[in-house]
Chains A and B, each alone.
Chain A
Amino acid sequence: MSLIRFAGVDFHYGPAGPSASAILKGFDLEIARGEFYVLLGPSGCGKTTALNLLAGFERPNAGTLIMDGRPIGAPGMDRVVIFQGDDSLYPWLTAQENVEFPLRMTGISAGERRRRAKLWLSRVGLANHGQKFPHQLSGGMKQRIQIARALVCDAPVLLMDEPFGALDAQTRTILQDELVAICSGSGATVLFITHDIAEAIILADRIGVMRAGPGSAIKDEFALDLPRPRNRGSVEFAAAYDRIQRVLGEEVRKVVSREAAA
């Protein structure tokens, strides 16, 4: 049985009516417990909207959205978000204090907070940077703080909204590999959003490709049962890339030609 289920979800901004431009229309998605699911799609197709609905930042206009048998409510620590960019970090807190933040809100004792934050900082390779402030760290290190801050919560579900989108290619590759190492065997269920096919293949158990909007939904799904860690140069990688590129490329071309016409 799936842990997360979107069934016939519609979402649009503003009041309903014929003029309302739908972001998602009849959006269906099922994610199994422990699965790493990557949502791929052309920019502006509504990937982030799907994640925001699951996080509880937005409410669907129609359809059902269920996690663990219960409808999705307000945001909570059972589904922690890793945001794109570093705006969600608190610049007045050190790396260590940022990672402690969720535990502090939960009312965990100072000693236990410190111990758990230190553990996660060292797991993401920031053991020696705990006392630094975010502005003293590189973009990649700031995303490591975010990853540590999310994982310290021991959440059953992780929602990642293009967390490596703003990083340079080399840093991104390193963080992808580290994320695979951290997540494999953790039992966490992940919804990961990206528009980078290679990133999707490195990380995913299953990939859903979304249609170009408006009124987007998932067009096609690909199951990847390649062993991890995956080799970016392998024949299987290239074959998967090619299959997905054909589906995604068609949607991206729609967006590009629409933009050109406008």
Chain B
Amino acid sequence: MSSAGHYLSWLALRVLPFIGLIFLWDAAARAFDVPVLFPTPLATWDKAVQLVGEGQLQSDIAISLWRIGVGFAVGCVLGTVLGLMMGLSRPVADILGPFVHTLRFIGPIAWISAVMIWFGLGETSKIVLIVYTTTFVVLVSAMIGVMTIHPNKLRAARVFGARGWRLFLYVTFPATLPHILSGARLAMMNSFMTIIAAEMVAAREGLGFLIFNSRQWMEVDAIFVGMIALGLLGLMADMLMVLLTGLLFRRFRPLSP
């Protein structure tokens, strides 16, 4: 097949199901026949246009993304450092292990109440929760990454005289990097889930607040706008991460679809 043909079939595979889904949604909404409870795609679009016109959607998106961005960045650094330390040092793994493996099952949502009491409704509480959820995913990936380096890679490095920080810098860290990157990608998804829960309970702005607050006024169309925005932003964040890791870390062969 020609390359144009390939392109067309690619386009068809990506776009047609999407258009199909919109039609399905439209049909379902018409069948349900209570536009206030189940708005059509067109009504949802109109609501989105209205929310953008009022400036509300942009500001909610911006504030949610900012919280995710800061918390995710801090969590990635924290998780990487702790995970590398636990993977490299048996005593550190023994000391921190039980805490880590207990805490990572106390999900960020379970922490919302306590974090709200401690940090209030300000930015700190949301960022703390994003840091928390990111840290554990990246930590576990980094730790497993270090522990699964093939012993011959380390043995060869020792033969060639690499010790201490040089062994870490030239072998251990690059060998672990693909694991850290795929951990970060998973953590990004967790961050999106956490921010919504946190903003529903403890915020006055953000996508989570938009979705949750619209319930009071029965604005299902606004709820849909918030949910769709969330999904599209997540998709874009994921694509951006794949693109960036592909550009920056190509030689480390990060796992990507």
B155 contacts the other chain (CB 8 A) = yes
A window 124-178: CB within 8 A of B: 133, 135, 153
- Tell whether A105 pairs with B161 under 8 Å between CB atoms, given A57-B155, A88-B155, A92-B174: yes
Residues on B facing A (Cβ under 8 Å): 150, 152-153, 155-162, 166, 170-171, 174-175, 177, 251-253
Among A90, A102, A133, contact of B171 (Cβ-Cβ < 8 Å): A90
> Quick check: B161 and A92 within 8 Å, CB to CB?
no
Which residues on the A side are within 8 Å of B159 (C-beta)?
55, 75-77, 79-81, 102
> Quick check: B153 and A153 within 8 Å, CB to CB?
no
Q: Taking the nearest CB of chain A, how far is it from the CB of B42, in angstroms?
A: 50
- The interface centre, meaning the residue of B153, B155, B156, B170 with most chain A CB atoms within 10 A of its CB, is B156
> Quick check: B150 and A102 within 8 Å, CB to CB?
no
Q: Taking the nearest CB of chain B, how far is it from the CB of A99, in angstroms?
A: 11
Which residues on the A side are within 8 Å of B152 (C-beta)?
83, 85, 87-88
Give the distance in Å from the alpha carbon of A135 to the alpha carbon of B159 in the complex.
23
> Quick check: B153 and A105 within 8 Å, CB to CB?
no
Which residues on the B side are within 8 Å of A77 (C-beta)?
159-161
Which residues on the B side are within 8 Å of A74 (C-beta)?
158
> Quick check: B160 and A102 within 8 Å, CB to CB?
yes
Query: A71-114 interface mask toward B, CB cutoff 8 Å, 1 = contact, 0 = none?
Result: 00011110111010101101111000000011011100000000
Which residues on the B side are within 8 Å of A85 (C-beta)?
152
Give the distance in Å from the alpha carbon of A104 to the alpha carbon of B156 in the complex.
13
> Quick check: B251 and A76 within 8 Å, CB to CB?
no
Query: Interface size on A (CB < 8 Å)?
Result: 26
- Tell whether A92 pairs with B155 under 8 Å between CB atoms, given A105-B166, A106-B161: no
> Quick check: A90 and B253 within 8 Å, CB to CB?
no
> Quick check: A88 and B162 within 8 Å, CB to CB?
no
Q: List the 10 shortest-distance A-B pairs measured between CB atoms, nearest first.
A: A88-B152, A87-B150, A102-B160, A88-B156, A75-B158, A87-B152, A105-B161, A105-B160, A75-B159, A92-B251
For the A-B complex with A55-B155, A83-B155, A92-B253 known, give 14 more contacts whose Cβ atoms are closer than 8 Å: A75-B158, A76-B159, A77-B159, A77-B161, A81-B155, A83-B156, A87-B152, A88-B150, A88-B152, A88-B156, A90-B175, A92-B174, A101-B157, A105-B162
- Tell whether A102 pairs with B161 under 8 Å between CB atoms, given A57-B155, A88-B150: yes
Among A56, A81, A91, contact of B156 (Cβ-Cβ < 8 Å): A81
**Contact residues of A: prevailing secondary structure:** loop
Residues on A facing B (Cβ under 8 Å): 55-57, 74-77, 79-81, 83, 85, 87-88, 90-93, 101-102, 104-106, 133, 135, 153
Closest A residue to B151 using CB positions:
A87
Which residues on the A side are within 8 Å of B157 (C-beta)?
101, 105
What are 12 A-B pairs with beta-carbon distances under 8 A? A55-B155, A57-B155, A76-B159, A77-B159, A83-B156, A87-B153, A88-B152, A88-B155, A90-B171, A92-B174, A93-B251, A106-B161
> Quick check: A153 and B253 within 8 Å, CB to CB?
no
> Quick check: A135 and B253 within 8 Å, CB to CB?
yes
- Tell whether A90 pairs with B174 under 8 Å between CB atoms, given A102-B160, A105-B161, A106-B161: yes
Q: Taking the nearest CB of chain A, how far is it from the CB of B52, in angstroms?
A: 44
- The interface centre, meaning the residue of A56, A81, A92 with most chain B CB atoms within 10 A of its CB, is A92
> Quick check: A133 and B251 within 8 Å, CB to CB?
yes
Give the distance in Å from the alpha carbon of A52 to the alpha carbon of B171 in the complex.
20
Which residues on the B side are within 8 Å of A93 (C-beta)?
251
Q: Taking the nearest CB of chain A, how far is it from the CB of B170, in angstroms?
A: 7
Which residues on the B side are within 8 Å of A83 (C-beta)?
152, 155-156
> Quick check: B155 and A101 within 8 Å, CB to CB?
no
- Tell whether A153 pairs with B156 under 8 Å between CB atoms, given A90-B171, A92-B174, A92-B252: no
Q: Taking the nearest CB of chain B, how far is it from the CB of A56, in angstroms?
A: 8
Closest A residue to B159 using CB positions:
A75
Q: Taking the nearest CB of chain A, how far is it from the CB of B176, in angstroms?
A: 11
Q: Taking the nearest CB of chain A, how far is it from the CB of B167, in angstroms?
A: 9
